Amino acid sequence: MENNLLFWHRRDLRIEDNHGLFKALSTGKSVIPVFIFDTTILSKLKANDQRVIFIHQEISRLKSEYQLAGSDLLIYVGNPIELLPKICDEFTIEKVVTNRDYEPNAIQRDLLVYEFLKAKNIEFIGAKDHVIFEKKEVLKDDGKPYTIFTPYSKKWKARLTSDDFDAFPSESNLNNLCKTDTYQPLVTLEELGFDGVQTIDFPIKSVSESLVSKYSEQRDFPSVNGTSRLGVHLRFGTISIRALARQASSQNETYLNELIWRDFYQMIIYHFPHSAKDSFKSQYDRIPWDNNEAHFQAWCDGRTGYPLVDAGMRELNVTGHMHNRVRMVVASFLTKHLLIDWRWGATYFAEKLLDFELASNVGGWQWASGSGCDAAPYFRIFNPALQLDKFDKQMVYVKKWVPEFGTPAYPTPIVDHATTTKRTIAIYKETLNS
DNA sequence: TTTTGAGTTGTTCGA
DNA sequence: GTCGAACAACTCAAA
């Protein structure tokens, strides 16, 4: 029996411009595409997690696309480390191809997969697909990774050549897919242990030229649809980062910079995996957080008495999304007004955000709390009232999410701005100098 | 090795 | 109202 090749989809739920899939199809071998619902991840999620519904929908679409090409996407449920060797036996696989993942847990998983497959004499091949530049492609002149964004972005741009955004035409090579006419049914959300009720709208899979071109002027105003909301599609690979970068680079430098930030944080978590759980700068883990449970709950529920903060949290709770400017404001408020550990906030975001991406999330939270690489200085504390005046002056955003604002039903501020910010600066100062 | 300039997104105060 | 400086030093990156 002829040997086959397995292509393992993870956070790359598309056929077109998929580097790993292109690589697999280019070998000329018969390629079997597979996706595994990883129960070690799913078991930690709540039954109504909207991201599982999103993935399930996209898997369903991807499966039909493979079926149109005369093949099928095989679906498994379980622990990939245990399943992959079995799948390889079942289909006489000689090589497994996948796109690389840079999160510490994923790297550990892939290392184990590599060992298990190696023991069976099966190759395990990775491809770069999730970012423009990965690992050691953008380093300082001394060969070490950057920890400051601006010089990183300069080197990133200097290193860029005309073909770095080029698509990998995986979709034009589908005749090498393993052919089948017996379609395996897709496991249902209920079978996976999820309730399957979609409560939020999923963002569309594209961004208009006009949004990108106006991005730098409009992105800071939460009442304006000035951001692309493509985070979830980048997270699960339902769009190609190369296609997006191509569009951005020709239209808006600020937008391109945001994509470079994404590469930057992916690179940081790859080189400094401790920063997934601990502060990048360890001395910030000595800060004596207040961690007041009642304050935290008020923050989660959007009833701090600071309208911009509350609007943001309520937008998050209802839609699974929060405008980026407001993310900074609520993160600054939690860490620097309430003096609550950035991990509490990061964990809450991880649970709620449809577009949650570990590297960007811990990067952002550590930036706001001052504990990250290239973070805001500790004395830089957003004033929620001033931010409201600057970015939602007409209170369109606030009134949308906090309709009772201005009535007696709206809570009074749970803490005083001047008092708490002075306290935080004093505590940070003392901790960092001791 | 030493030196120099710079560092996502702010706020407050006083002239 | 506008503007510059202070906030607090420190570390990083590159020459």
Q: Is residue A328 part of a domain?
A: yes
Q: Are A58 and A202 in contact (CB under 8 A)?
A: no
Local confidence band at A268 (pLDDT 50, 70, 90 cut-offs): very high
* Tens digits of residue pLDDT in A377-423: 888 899 999 999 999 999 999 999 999 999 999 999 999 999 999 89
- Confidence at residue A432, expressed as pLDDT on a 0 to 100 scale: 85
* Residues A265 and A319 occupy one common structural domain: no
A248 CA to B6 C1', in Å? 27
Residue A197: name the closest of A322, A47, A77 by CA: A47
Query: Which of A271, A299, A316 is the endpoint of a domain?
Result: A271
Radius of gyration, CA atoms only, chain A: 23
* pLDDT score recorded for residue A335: 95
Among residues A216, A238, A271, the one where a domain terminates is A271
Give yes or no: A365 in active site: yes
Residue % of chain A over a pLDDT of 70: 100
Within this chain, do residues A137 and A264 fall inside the same structural domain, yes or no?
A: yes
Q: Locate A406 and state its tokens.
A: 């201005």
- Cα–Cα distance between A413 and A6 in angstroms, integer? 57
Residue A148 in contact with residue A374, Cβ under 8 Å?
A: yes
Q: Is the pLDDT of residue A157 over 60?
A: yes
Residue A127 has pLDDT above 80, yes or no: yes
Residue A387 Cβ < 7 Å to strand C = no
What's the confidence (pLDDT) of residue A28?
93
Range from A46-50, A66-70, A267-271, A428-432 carrying the lowest mean pLDDT: A428-432
Q: Say whether both A94 and A155 belong to one domain.
A: no
Distance A286 CA to C6 C1' (A): 26
| Separation of alpha carbons A176 and A331, rounded Å | 48
**Residue A180, in any domain of the structure:** no
How do A123-127 and A74-78 pair as beta strands?
Answer: unpaired
Q: What is the CA A376 to chain-centroid distance, rounded?
A: 21
pLDDT at residue A379 in the model: 87
pLDDT per residue as tens digits for the range A198-255:
999 999 999 999 999 999 999 999 999 999 999 999 999 999 999 999 999 889 999 9
Q: What's the whole-number mean pLDDT along residues A352-379?
A: 93
Residue A178 lies in a domain: no
Residues A117 and A155 in one domain: no
Looking up residue A408, the CATH number of its domain turns out to be: 1.10.579.10
pLDDT digits (tens, 9 = 90+) for A309-323: 999 999 999 999 999
Q: Both A151 and A67 in a single domain?
A: no
Residues 397-426 of A with CB under 7 A from strand B: 417-418, 421
Looking at the 3D structure of chain A, how many domains does it have?
Answer: 3
Q: Is the pTM of this model over 0.85?
A: yes
For residues A44 and A31, membership in a common domain is answered with yes
Q: How far is the CA of A386 from the C1' of C1 (A)?
A: 17
CA A106 to chain centre: 14
Q: Is the CB of A220 under 7 A from strand B?
A: yes
Give pLDDT, residue A2: 73
Is A123 assigned a catalytic role? no
Q: What is the pLDDT of residue A374?
A: 87
pLDDT at A1: 53
Confidence band of A430 (pLDDT split at 50, 70, 90): confident
Residue A345 maps to a domain: yes
Which residues, other chains included, contact A146 with Cβ-Cβ below 8 Å and sequence gap of 6+? A138, A139, A140, A152, A155, A264, A267
A383 touches strand B (CB under 7 A): yes
Range(s) of the domain holding residue A78 = 4-128
Burial A168-177 (b: 16+ CB within 10 A, else e): bebbebbebb
Nearest-angstrom CA–CA distance, A325 and A154 = 24
Using the CA of A425, give the nucleotide whose C1' is nearest: C7
**Which CATH number characterizes residue A87's domain?**
3.40.50.620
Write down the pLDDT at residue A230: 97
A336 and A242, same structural domain?
no
Q: Could you give the CA distance from residue A124 to residue A104 in angstroms, rounded to a whole number?
A: 18
Same domain? For A325 and A256 the reply is: no
Q: Is the CB of A367 under 7 A from strand B?
A: yes
A154 touches strand B (CB under 7 A): no
Q: Which two tokens stand for residue A312?
A: 């943001």
Give how far Cα A372 sits from Cα of A232, A287, A327, Å.
24, 14, 16
- pLDDT of residue A14 exceeding 70: yes
Per-residue pLDDT, A4: 95
**CATH code for position A237:** 1.25.40.80
- A191 included as an active-site residue: no
Catalytic status, residue A261: yes
CA angle A420, A426, A432 (to 5 degrees): 130
